[in-house]
Amino acid sequence: MENWKDSDSSGAGSTVDPLFSDYDEQSWFDSDSGVASPVHGDPVAQTLNLLTKPEAMGNLETLLRFI
């Protein structure tokens, strides 16, 4: 899954999206079994946590204006 990062790693002009900068793919899965972790991998809880960020709400409001 790391291949997409390596294929587009020019280094120049790359910016980190502040909305997803704290996303950690490893937290979605139990490190031993590879099964989604019920503690860290709850997509509903992570979505709600993401929506509490002011920049997420700004992006959501902008998206809704164009619908």
**Adjacent-strand bridge partners of 20:** none
Nearest CA-CA partner of 41 in 59, 56, 25, 54 = 25
Distance CA 27, CA 40 (A): 5
Q: What is the pLDDT of residues 6-15, one digit of tens each?
A: 444 455 555 6
pLDDT of residue 3: 47
Q: Which of 18, 17, 42 is nearest to 28 (CA)?
A: 42
* pLDDT score, position 64: 80
Give residue 66's pLDDT: 78
What pTM, to 2 d.p., does this model score? 0.30
Q: Give the model's pLDDT for residue 4.
A: 47
Residue 56 reports pLDDT greater than 70: yes
pLDDT in tens, 22-46: 666 666 666 666 666 666 567 777 7
